[in-house]
Chains A and B, each alone.
Chain A
Amino acid sequence: MEDMYREVILDHYKNPRFNGELDPADITYQDDNPLCGDMIRIDLRIDDNNRVIECAFSGQGCAISQASASMLMEDIQGKSLEEIKDYTREDILDMLGIELGPVRLKCAMLSLKVLKVGAYGVQEWIED
């Protein structure tokens, strides 16, 4: 439990990478988790080959939700939207390097949900 606040998570929380908004952006989407008050917005710029050339996230929430967004932004640099489709829950948990209970899992998955729904629409998001 204690390693939920691993140095790397706290570092991403305190010094978020790719934090901010892009204007203009090709894709902008935001969503929240009203139960705990986490909110994430993601902006993407994509090139003609559907690759992410720039991305940014903004929002507020717990360390897990914000750190996972920051890590995800780092990871999707230069990836194609097709590749992003393949991201799974395990990918996020691998990035965080921790195990999570059902409540905190929702915090961790919020950024992936925003990214996928923003890129493809709700049908691409299966809550589990």
Chain B
Amino acid sequence: MTIRFDANEIKRDFPALQRMVNEDVPLVYLDTTATSQKPKKVLECLSYYYSNSNANVHRGIHTLAEEATAGYESARTKIGEFISAPSAKEIIYTRNTTEAINLVANSWGRANLRSGDRIVLTEMEHHSNLVPWQMLAASIGLEIDIIPVDDNGCLDLEVYEKHLDKNPKAVCVTHMSNVLGTLNPIKEMATQAHEHGAVIVVDAAQSVPHMPVDVQDLGVDFVAFSAHKMCGPTGVGVLWGRYELLDGMPPFLGGGDMIKRVYLRDFDTNELPYKFEAGTPAIGEAIAMGAAVDYLKGVGMENVWEHEQDIVSYAMERLEEIPGLTVYGPEAEKRGGVTAFTLDGVHPHDISQILDVDGIAVRAGHHCAMPLHERYSLVATARASFYLYNSYDDVDKLIKGLYKVKQVFG
């Protein structure tokens, strides 16, 4: 038995979703994949922190510093529990998913990879899980193998097995595609990677916000995600890694907080997680990320996921009714709440622009996945994405808007 919720009720928790655009049209926000809106509780948390407890973390003895430190660390604990991490020491605050992946590539990668080693990437990655590895590969001389996307928008797992036979050192893959919505079989892929001695790095930017994620059950090694896509603020994200791996890695950025002792020509690194948190972090934002986790837990991630499944199934059904419209990626059961599509004879920019007149916010472009668009011989798609605050009514408005687009360009 699932306790479903009313998306329109949820919507009331989000101040930005109450606003009008173009003077008097209510906003229909369908761009959560780029960034989610924030509930009032998260905004209040940010405001409370900066109005009351603002101080730098660690080493402070005064009241404000103690409050800031306690909030910062208790958010870390909450986030760790949210993804079932064995220890909060494995939760490294970063700026975002991108920085988390760069941390792994530079710290773990440079310490563990040698010229001629192989790594596996996929054709559906966001640029943030391609470019850091390409930079590393160019710098130390790695061979890159790519898992292609099949005609159904899923990873070709037979090719994955062939790549594994070449004994790569790392497999870097997204949990959920930010364009096709495809949910990849990470648990199975992790087992296979480990059988071949590879480490698996998961871009969870689109999964942690939308579904229950248990890093131990998945059996993966590194997981990266951003607060801003899960009801939290911009400026903070997380790298989770297995303790033994993180513990054996050299620091990424150097400076304050990541050290235990500093000498004039040398330093001793701090312990986890501080080893990877150089300089003053986004303190208020980290605390607010904790508030976002509280909010999502209050709704229940199972409920969020099931609601999005309902909405995306309905959206796909309605979208596919529109003549000349193509939705890319797998059937609804195999995807999260993302639909990227094209409409014959109309550039995605024009789709987005005309929908905006009716307050409907969708994104147009390559969505930071140029190789994936090339795979489909496309330069751009329009993308509507859904979250806990989107209703069937939002989908209906999108469909109506798309018929209007067809009319303008008819």
Q: Which residues of A contact B (CB under 8 A)?
A: 1-2, 4-5, 10, 14, 34-39, 60-64, 104, 107
Q: Which 10 A-B residue pairings sit nearest by Cβ, starting from the closest?
A: A37-B379, A62-B347, A62-B349, A37-B380, A63-B350, A62-B350, A5-B408, A1-B357, A36-B349, A36-B365
The answer to whether B409 has its CB under 8 Å from any CB of chain A is yes
Query: How many angstroms between the C-alpha atoms of A23 and B135 in the bound complex?
Result: 41
Provide the bound-state CA to CA distance between A107 and B365, in Å: 12
- B117 beta carbon closer than 8 Å to chain A: no
- A36, B380: Cβ atoms closer than 8 Å: yes
B368 to chain A, nearest CB (A): 10
Which listed residue, A2, A35, A64, touches B357 by the CB 8 Å rule? A2
Interface residue from A5, A104, A107 paired with B354 (Cβ < 8 Å): A5
Most buried by A among B347, B348, B356, B365: B347
Bound-state Cα–Cα, A36 to B373, Å: 12
What residues of chain A lie closer than 8 Å to B365, measured between beta carbons?
35-37
Q: Cβ of B22 and Cβ of A1 under 8 Å apart?
A: yes
How many Å from the CB of B127 to the closest CB on chain A?
12
Given known contacts A1-B356, A34-B370, A35-B365, is B22 in contact with A60 (CB within 8 Å)?
no
A38 surroundings in chain B (CB, below 8 A):
347, 379
Q: What sequence of 0s and 1s flags, for each residue 157-200 of chain B, a beta carbon within 8 Å of any chain A beta carbon?
A: 00000000000000000000000000000000000000000000
- The residue of chain A having its C-beta at the shortest distance from the C-beta of B405 within the complex is A5
Complex contacts, A1 vs chain B, CB 8 Å: 22, 353, 356-357
**B347 pairs with A10, CB closer than 8 A:** no
* Interfacial chain B residues near A37, Cβ < 8 Å: 347-348, 365-366, 373, 378-380
Kindly provide the distance from the CB of B22 to the nearest chain A CB, expressed in whole angstroms: 7
Taking a contact as CB atoms under 8 Å apart, the answer to whether B409 and A10 are in contact is: yes
- Nearest A-chain residue to B408, judged by Cβ: A5
Q: Is B292 an interface residue (CB 8 A)?
A: no
- CB pair A63–B357 under 8 Å, yes or no, is no
| B312 interfacial by beta-carbon distance below 8 Å | no
Task: Give chain B nearest CB distance to A9 CB in angstroms.
Answer: 10
Query: Which chain A positions have C-beta within 8 A of B353?
Result: 1, 4-5, 104
